[in-house]
Structure 1
Amino acid sequence: MSEIKQKIALFIDADNAPASKFEVVLSEVAKYGVVTIRKAYGNWKSPTLKAWEDLLHEHAIQPVQQYDLIKGKNASDIALVIDAMDVMYTKDIDVMCFITSDCDFTPMVTRALAEGKVVLGFGERKTPAPFVNACSKFLFLDQSETAATEDISKPKNIKSDTKLIGLLRQTIEATEDDGGWAALGPVGANISNRTSFDCRNYGFKNISSLFKAIDLFEIKRSQDKSYVVRDARKYK
């Protein structure tokens, strides 16, 4: 019996996304299913979109032309939202993917989530936090190469990130056993239910590497060889 794959709609804000990272996006969305809709929005008369234009035929991306009718007003954003809403209500789509560094699409994302869709976001580090946090999962494209080659022995200055440390401690507390140990599987699932967290955005390939780099936590192999972690401050 063949596996049923989720259907994905991919929307590209070509004015606010790096074409050079499109292969990274395709590799990531392939984990969720098959992309049945691929659309890119922008003023294709502009030379700044040449890199995206070169990818259109290779990756079967449908270009949507939008002229900049008024300076400072991006008609592409409006067209993208209209199409995304249309797809959400008229097409059999499970996952909606947005490639953009623009937070103007945050209401679109929250609406898609309310309709039961998984929402994947991709953008550069400059992407505003409201859009990043609204997505089911968001990946910073300018961090993907670092994450793919990171060395956990390399010191990481992430202990000062109080929001991250607080999140990790809360998820451990929510899933720990009587000894304070929490399996990484449930920890990761709990984090995903709370926010769009992705360890690659911090320069790590996986969550075990992240915990190993922070001496505020203890991490070890359990009897079944899976990783477990606990908050070290509680057991000094």
Structure 2
Amino acid sequence: MSDQPPRLAVLIDAENAQAALLNELFAEIAKYGVASVKRAYGDFTSSHLNPWKAALLKHSIKPVQQFNNTVRKNASDIALVIDAMDLVHSKRFDGFCLVSSDSDFTGLASRIREEGLTVYGIGEKKTPSSFVEACDKFIYTENLKSAAKTSPRKDTAPGPKKAALPPEILAALQDTVDSASDESGWAHLGRVGRILGSRLPDFDTRSYGQKTLTALLEASDDFELQRRGPKGGRQDIVVRVKPKRHAGP
């Protein structure tokens, strides 16, 4: 069995992505595998893509120049789709990162997944839900922006922060924990995270001010957490969770 990380093809719709976030974007992608192919698509002769020129060189991204000769058809989108399918049929990749907020790539994401490959979408929160749901996981660039702006300060002591969860997210969390629980009512947090990721491709604890699912549940008044494992270290600790059943009035 190979210990090599997954090989990923990163295809960027430069017309619908921000060059300023490439550092954070590739740091995020590195969590899931190695960016073996990096290509950006757009009309780089256009003035509004000027910020990409230096960024392409810095991050070793291959530019795929496409002149937009017609108004309604985006030549860059078409080129990206054609290249994606060529890469799929090469059988050299474990997954794809599609960087765009454009719903036109919904069909492409679905088609890649039909081949048994993982699809990571990266785009803004305005991305249509059809594209979000077509991906295995969708990462919002707003969360990458927050990470870029946040810097640790020694003079600020971290305090307990309560998680303000939207009702639909809280309900999804409670339902997922219930479905993953054993007869005692406890569920392994790792299993909860896997099920939740399948149900909600765009679920990201950073959207609610926390770095991890453990921290998010700890900041909520609606869940109990239990840690089990050796007392000497954290490496083999298993975290379990169950919903709190609040008493009525």
Q: If the length of structure 2 is used for normalisation, what is the TM-score?
A: 0.84
Matched, 1:174 2:179: yes
Tell me if structure 1 keeps the 8 A contact 2:163–2:216. Answer: no
Tell me if structure 2 keeps the 8 A contact 1:146–1:203. Answer: no
| Alpha-carbon distance in structure 2 between the residues aligned to 1:45 and 1:206 | 41
| Alpha-carbon distance in structure 1 between the residues aligned to 2:144 and 2:63 | 26
Matched, 1:70 2:70: yes
SS of the residue aligned with 2:55? coil
Matched, 1:229 2:235: no
Tell me if structure 2 keeps the 8 A contact 1:176–1:182. Answer: yes
Cα distance change on mapping 1:130 and 1:203 into 2, 3 Å: farther
| Alpha-carbon distance in structure 1 between the residues aligned to 2:224 and 2:22 | 37
Tell me if structure 2 keeps the 8 A contact 1:139–1:201. Answer: no
Instruction: Give the Å deviation of 1:125.
Output: 1.7
Residue 234 of structure 2 is matched in structure 1 by none
Give the residue type in structure 2 aligned to 1:42: G
Measured on the aligned residues, the alpha-carbon RMSD in Å equals: 2.4
Instruction: Give the Å deviation of 1:145.
Output: 4.6
What does the per-residue CA deviation read over 1:77-114, in whole Å, with 9 as the maximum and x for residues that have no partner? 11111111111112411110111111110111111111
Q: If the length of structure 1 is used for normalisation, what is the TM-score?
A: 0.88
Larger mean Cα displacement after TM superposition, 138-147 or 22-31: 138-147
Tell me if structure 2 keeps the 8 A contact 1:144–1:201. Answer: no
Residue 200 of structure 1 is matched in structure 2 by 206
| Alpha-carbon distance in structure 2 between the residues aligned to 1:146 and 1:220 | 30
Identity %: 41
Instruction: Give the Å deviation of 1:68.
Output: 1.8
Q: How many residues are treated as equivalent by the alignment? A: 234
Residue 129 of structure 2 is matched in structure 1 by 129
| Alpha-carbon distance in structure 2 between the residues aligned to 1:144 and 1:152 | 23
Residue 7 of structure 2 is matched in structure 1 by 7
Tell me if structure 1 keeps the 8 A contact 2:21–2:145. Answer: no
Structure 1 residues not aligned, in runs of 5+: none
| Alpha-carbon distance in structure 1 between the residues aligned to 2:18 and 2:125 | 12
SS of the residue aligned with 2:57? coil
